[in-house]
């Protein structure tokens, strides 16, 4: 067994869970954080259901992004950190600081503790939300050189939290990082096999289609990446010498229209496809609805705009080769149907 130990923060999460599965399969010793050790049995059960190959290679530690308590113990003897944990709540929130403060302060807290523990490298899970929001709609191809314009249109609290957290991480490294190395990965909309009974990431789009929660397709275009490829990219960013000090955008390829996503869902859902929509909703209807609905208001800035995202750097530096977006959509669909959790997306 590979005796290198990796700490994965937020072990109950969607991306973190897939990172754990991939790390253990590759022979790493893995420790993961949860806010309370009461969560350990449930997380173990989910990972076992997903095919965890060596359960003894996984251990747990209690630590929270909002407190220094527990991080020194969690990082004891650790070689690498995948800092995946961060609050996720796209759209309108009552208090933006509920997302921003734990994301930003938690990233710096983990980096400081990792530096003090002698960790070699931290890979921070950022997001395309830290790159591609608040900009004019044009033919620009987004790369790692871009940052979200926080004062631009369409930037929600989640986008602010990811942008401010990643900026804070790089600022910490420049001022106090010492010998610690940092790399960041920035996935677009993440889909793929669900873990347990929870639906996370862009899998909510698929669930909403299956449940009837999306009666028609808005004119939105979504760049997609498979969660399994996101997990691979984390490990490549952790181990590739040239990844230190770099950002990596993760996208499978060009953005897909919602109606294209719907067609793939329908193809793979079998009998569960009955409520997947077949018609589109005109932009004018969405714009009128935005006058009365915060949900519609969040759609307006990106109507008809397919953001272009380059994955060239991840391919070149990491040797990363993502599967097609259709594979991620198909895996999300079949796993949602198989787990019987394709029927409650409309309420989420």
- Whether the Cβ atoms of residue 329 and residue 225 lie closer than 8 Å to each other: no
Look up residue 194 and give its two tokens.
Answer: 């669900």
Percent of all residues in the chain with a pLDDT value above 70, rounded to a whole number: 97
Q: What is the pLDDT of residues 80-115, one digit of tens each?
A: 999 999 887 666 677 889 899 999 999 999 999 999
Query: Residue 347: pLDDT above 70?
Result: no
Give the pTM: 0.94
pLDDT at 35 over 80: yes
Is the predicted pLDDT of residue 348 greater than 70, yes or no? no
Cβ proximity of 183 and 123 under 8 Å = yes
**Structure confidence at residue 92 (pLDDT):** 64
Dist CA 137 CA 298 (whole Å): 16
CA distance 104 to 9: 15
The residues annotated with a catalytic role in the active site are: 162
Q: Which two tokens stand for residue 322?
A: 């993502």
- Encode pLDDT of 143-185 as tens digits: 999 999 999 888 888 999 999 999 999 999 999 999 999 999 9
Helices (H), the chain: 14-25, 40-49, 71-74, 97-117, 157-176, 203-211, 227-239, 258-269, 283-289, 294-297, 312-318, 325-339
Confidence of residue 42 (pLDDT cuts 50, 70, 90): very high
Q: What is the dihedral of CA 42, 46, 52, 57, to 10 degrees?
A: -20
Q: Which of 136, 132, 123, 141 is nearest to 159 (CA)?
A: 132
Taking Cα atoms as reference points, which of 342, 324, 318, 322 lies closest to residue 332?
A: 342
| Segment 228-250 mean pLDDT | 98
- 201 vs 195 pLDDT, higher one: 195
| Region 5-347: CATH code | 3.40.50.720
Instruction: State residue 252 phi and psi, 5-degree precision.
Output: -75, -35
Q: Identify the sign of the CA torsion 170, 172, 177, 180.
A: negative
The tens digit of pLDDT for each residue in 282-304 reads 888 878 887 777 777 777 778 88
Average pLDDT score over residue span 314-334 = 98
Average pLDDT over residues 60-74: 96
Phi, psi of 336 (to 5 degrees): -65, -45
The closest alpha carbon to 141, from 238, 34, 258, 223, belongs to 223
Query: 39 burial class (0-12, 13-18, 19+ CB within 10 angstroms)?
Result: middle
Q: What angle do CA 303, 306, 311 make, to 5 degrees?
A: 150
Total residue length of the chain: 348
54 neighbors 28 (Cβ within 8 angstroms) = no
């Amino acid at each position: 067994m590979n005796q290198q130990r990796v700490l994965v923060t937020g072990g109950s999460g969607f991306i973190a869970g897939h990172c754990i599965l991939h790390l253990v399969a590759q022979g790493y010793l893995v420790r993961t954080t949860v806010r309370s050790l009461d969560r350990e049995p449930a997380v173990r059960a989910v990972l076992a259901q997903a095919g965890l190959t060596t359960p003894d290679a996984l251990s747990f530690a209690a630590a929270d992004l909002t407190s220094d308590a527990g991080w020194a113990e969690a990082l004891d003897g650790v070689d690498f950190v995948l800092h995946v944990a961060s609050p996720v709540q796209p759209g309108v929130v009552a208090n933006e600081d509920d997302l921003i403060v734990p994301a930003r302060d938690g990233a710096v807290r983990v980096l400081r503790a990792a530096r003090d523990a002698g960790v070699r490298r931290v890979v921070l899970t950022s997001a395309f939300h830290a790159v591609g929001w608040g900009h004019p709609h044009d033919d620009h191809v987004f790369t790692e050189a871009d940052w979200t314009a926080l004062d631009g249109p369409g930037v929600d609290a989640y986008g602010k939290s990811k942008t401010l957290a990643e900026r804070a991480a790089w600022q910490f490294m420049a001022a106090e990082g010492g010998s610690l190395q940092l790399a960041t990965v920035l996935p677009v909309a993440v889909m793929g096999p669900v873990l347990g009974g929870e639906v996370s990431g862009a899998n909510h789009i698929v669930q909403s289609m299956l449940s009837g929660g999306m009666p028609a397709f808005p004119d939105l275009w979504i760049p997609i990446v498979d969660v399994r490829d996101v997990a691979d990219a984390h490990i490549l960013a952790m181990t590739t010498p040239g990844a230190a000090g770099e950002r990596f955008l993760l996208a499978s390829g060009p953005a897909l229209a919602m109606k294209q996503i719907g067609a793939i869902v329908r193809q793979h859902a079998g009998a569960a496809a009955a409520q997947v929509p077949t018609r589109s909703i005109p932009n004018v209807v969405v714009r009128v609805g935005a006058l009365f609905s915060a949900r519609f208001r969040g759609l307006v800035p990106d109507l008809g705009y397919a953001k272009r995202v380059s994955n060239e750097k991840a391919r070149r530096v990491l040797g990363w080769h993502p599967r097609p977006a259709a594979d991620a959509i198909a895996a999300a669909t079949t796993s949602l149907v198989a787990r019987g959790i394709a029927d409650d997306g409309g309420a989420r």
